[in-house]
Structure 1
């Protein structure tokens, strides 16, 4: 990509507007604010033809890799241990959610404006940012994936307080304090760079799909489960920057025609998102029947999206938070690990 003052000015304008609106969105509680604002601002800049041409591939790959580390650190030993003997029902319910997502994605892929791959990636119930990040690598339309995935997160997140208070009469007034990882920044940096240095080449060597995401994800997971992380994690500001880059990656590719075609898809996508949410709630009945959790805890554990909102709501309620955390993290992990493999296998079969 050639440098020019005009191109630099476009990047500066895009960055400043994104930072300002992300701060405002965070303050009013917009879910996945950095990803949403990055997507929205880049889309407006692209449609107005005042934005950069595209996100450089190296920046896109770096964002995927850091995101993989973040997801990998979620699945630690304490999280898995909290499931106890309930891990089999939780895994089965997570796989059921995966099947629901694949079925809904296949239905969305029947739309004349979409490919089957795009439909499948757009409705995966977990890891929205990861799916957007790797959509192009897997042959999908990242613009559609970004819009539909964010719509899923938005609908699920918006419905959480209503369902919690109206359906389950939950008390969500406990509140929680901020978490403290305790690791200095240099430990975070060494851990992240180590996961990237080992994970990306390894994933390419064994020919994993989306190697920039899955390689660091697998290495970070192994390190976390083995207790080798030293409490390291992805710093909040770096993670926000990653989400912004992923949002830009999709938003800058928008055109007026693609915007119109996605508008035609949204009613059908919304119906399918509601269907997935209802199906996951029914899967929660399996947890109620086979474990000691309450219906409210099962609902929180199987909600198909908005993981951070779910965890915040669980922490603010009188529920088994560790069970909800374990079930939600396992769902996201399985989605991001299995779906790229399934998509690549399907493409080879075609």
Structure 2
């Protein structure tokens, strides 16, 4: 941990809360720069001016003079822009889910990947891709992924109740166990599927944004807008849940129902993102912690900042995944897994050194 990050972590909670407007503005600026870099950099480097010229011409035809090759316009608008937008949407969505789950489970290690939600979403998506086909049109994969994520979350809660695992740590262990079982089922579905399609699905399971299309972006964008707005509207309830169930109940919060609502919202958001990106782990684990270090623990601040930081993080991970081994794409899950694993070890060491302080 660097000296600057240590100084942020030791900043008093009220002072960190006051840093929220500056942190939010800085995150928006970095997001814009990251978007520009992600669209500009690639096997065919394109100037930032050309990138924004193409975008402006597409949004407002005739606004700028078209002085760029047609090939560059196709690369920017048809390939890189939708891919970068999808990376931002997925990163923001997974970060929001992680922040919500960490609050209602009071577990700093909770995230959609560890609790089995991502695995359930992958199982549903694989079922749709290999065995049922698009029986409901473009909404088939997101709906199946949501159903799979919801069933996986129900299994986690059922296992936790069956084993009398009421503590937050045991809930995470139940999630890990369910995740292994569900992924085993997903592997069986791949084994039984068409071998030619299975190869593509296996690559997709490791995390891939290469199939991003404009026509599909409406689904993750809608899920992010609805679930993100709902979570932000319940920010005070999330704050109360971090104190404890009894304290939250004394404030008039129906604890069991609210926790279930957060799980359902998390399953919907995670399932939709998994349907278009594959299984991408550790984003929901890391990003909320970084947001809390910057602006304190109030979820009215943590949630929007987590969404922005999650978008920035996944955009850069995607940029690395398609440039490190160019012209081949490395699965983005490899990049997030490497960074997330190191962060997980650091977080365990930090918790071992002393109880984490609430901001």
Q: Rg bigger for which structure?
A: 2
**Bucket of the pairwise TM-score, normalised by the shorter protein:** under 0.3
TM-score between both structures, scaled by the size of structure 1: 0.27
